[in-house]
Amino acid sequence: MTLSLITPAEVRFDLLMRREIALLDLREEDPYAKDHPLFAANLPLSRLELEAIDRLPRRDVRLVLYDDGEGLVAPAAERLRGLGYSNVHALAGGLQGWRDAGLELFQDVNSASKAFGELVESRRRTPSLSAPDAKALIDSEPDLVVLDARRWDEYQTMSIPRGVSTPGAELVLRARELAPSATTTIIVNCAGRTRSIIGAQSLLNARLPNPVFALRNGAIGWTLAGLELDRGQDRRAPEPSAEHESEARSRAREVAYRAGVKRLDADQLAELGRERTRTLYRFDVRPPEEYATGHLPAFRSAPGGQLVQETDMAAPVRGARIVLADDRGVRADMTASWLAQMGWEVYVLEAPFAGPLETGGWTPTRPPLPPTLTIDARALSQRLAGGDVTVVDLGPSPAHRRGHIPGAWFAIRAQLNDALHRLPDARPIVLTSPDGVLATLAAEEVAALTGATPEVLDGGTAAWTAAGLPLEAGLERAANAPIDVYKRPYEGTDHAQGAMQAYLDWEFGLVEQLERDGTHGFFVI
């Protein structure tokens, strides 16, 4: 298969002109996080069919694929064309071509959002408190609230003392319920810097009368200061009163107006949806539990704070249109205000919840699955007891560490050729993954590599668990290194404090990197 080549200069020009383009890094998350262009989105070859349909909703959008010499581009292009994508290209020279062109490379995940957060702090001088100063206030000042802007699960893992879970898009809606007095000090925190900055600046942009501060460097700064974190807390921000909600709605709408956010109704949304030459993302920015009670068809669950933090994951097509829905308006307006400043063409849907709604959580769109030989959990258990089968688990390495079928080998789908050579013997192979879908997609590849058709565990590891069968934890049998997930330099190291400081120093340098890169199109109100 011959792919047309797009030069780094052409990609850069498309970004500058705000033309629709998706620059896709096909490597696993760990190598991607160590070097990539600012607006490159990680779409690993291993998971391509599972993610492409939702993340790339227009089949003729311009896709530019690259790797760093691993040979991932050709198979990715073939799979994308099989899914109906018709405008697929390769980045000339791959990642090395980008380097050779002298263009900027960024590290970490969600780096565009993190760089934007640093730009906001630089431009607006967002007030912040060091961890020792915040601790002194928390210990001595009763008229103070700590708002944790992360997801609920992150908050439960660890939090700042007195912290209350108030995910980013909820801050303007709920802060006044917790701090009804204009004299109450508000501290906004996250794990690091970005959501603390964006959260605190959201309250400041909405002109809350309170003293508002970001916790400087978040939980990392707290840890570096030698302070103790809380674990397993369950404090949630309360529902706002009618008065506070009305106030929040007015404040948020004014912020959205200043950011240039556009508004449309259901008929206008339908008209946008009929335009086949533009990509349109539809996101419901409420918390997942609200989304599940009733949401508009075709709207994907994307809580607003996380959408701002992880825009590259939700919307990899730079230059696309985004429409946000929220039955209260506040979350959509605040989220849209940030996306607009990040250079997106963003709209808020007015009065969006008329008509029939769908219930339940969001589920990814899956491609048609090929027929495979399957085995059920009980039969697999019997064969494992007899020692005549090898189980290969293609699920994410964190899930494998938490619990996998006893004796299963961890492997990465895009590295199956290497993995299969590391298995201990030539016993028949059974493939599994969390729900069995990824294993089903990989079965033909295993057959081509081995000359034998593997079986697939029907329903995946979830079916094994549902059958009451045991799991084992750890990563004892890794046929591939677990590079599918990026671990920050300070995670799992004996020199965590030094690595944490180095990570913060990297974040501090992002504003200068943005200036050198020159493609971002960000502005700050």
**Same fold across 5-109 and 373-466:** yes
pLDDT value at 515 more than 90 = yes
| pLDDT band at residue 351 using 50, 70 and 90 as cut-offs | confident
Give per-residue pLDDT as tens, 268-314: 999 999 999 999 999 999 999 999 999 999 999 999 999 999 999 99
Assign 384 a pLDDT band (cuts: 50, 70, 90): very high
Predicted confidence band at 452 (pLDDT cuts at 50, 70, 90)? very high
Q: How confident is the model at residue 500 (pLDDT cuts 50, 70, 90)?
A: confident
Average the pLDDT over 486-500 and give the result.
69
Q: Collapsing DSSP states into helix, strand and coil, what is residue 253?
A: helix
Q: How confident is the model at residue 497 (pLDDT cuts 50, 70, 90)?
A: confident
Architecture of domain 373-466: 3-Layer(aba) Sandwich (3.40)
What is the CATH code for 122-237?
Answer: 3.40.250.10
Q: pTM of the prediction?
A: 0.95
Looking at residue 487, its pLDDT comes to: 84
Is residue 491 very low, low, confident or very high in pLDDT (cuts 50, 70, 90)? low
495 has pLDDT over 60: no
Beta carbons of 449 and 416 less than 8 angstroms apart: yes
Instruction: Note the pLDDT tens digit of each residue in 92-114.
Output: 999 999 999 999 999 999 999 99
* Tokens, residue 1: 């298969």
Between CA 236 and CA 235, with CA 199 as vertex, the angle to 5 degrees is 10
Residue-wise DSSP of 115-167: HHHHHHHHHH---EE-HHHHHHHHHH-SSEEEEE-S-HHHHHH-B-TTEEE--
β-partners of residue 24 are 41, 65
Mean pLDDT, residues 436-461 taken together? 96
Provide the pLDDT confidence category of residue 489 given band limits of 50, 70 and 90.
low
User: CA angle, corner 249, sides to 184 and 353, nearest 5?
Assistant: 140
CATH number for the domain formed by residue range(s) 5-109: 3.40.250.10
Looking at residue 505, its pLDDT comes to 81
In one letter, which amino acid is 477?
Answer: R
Query: CATH says 259-349 is which class?
Result: alpha beta
pLDDT of residue 493: 54
How many angstroms separate the CA atoms of 153 and 398, rounded?
15
Give the strand pairing for 321-325 and 163-165: unpaired
Determine the 3-state secondary structure of 202 from DSSP. helix
> With pLDDT > 70 as the criterion, what percentage of the chain qualifies?
98
User: What pLDDT digit, counting tens, does each position of 218-261 carry?
Assistant: 999 999 999 999 999 999 999 999 999 999 999 999 999 999 99
State the Cα–Cα distance between residues 381 and 453, nearest whole angstrom.
19
Tokens of 385: 């007891």
Yes or no: say if 135 and 227 are a contact pair by the CB < 8 Å rule: yes
pLDDT band at 507 (very low <50, low <70, confident <90, very high): confident
* Burial class (CB within 10 angstroms; exposed 0-12, middle 13-18, buried 19+) of 274: exposed
> Nearest to residue 67, comparing CAs of 45, 46, 83?
45
Residues paired with residue 348 on neighbouring β-strands, in sequence order: 263, 324
**Domain segments of the chain: what residues?**
5-109, 122-237, 259-349, 373-466
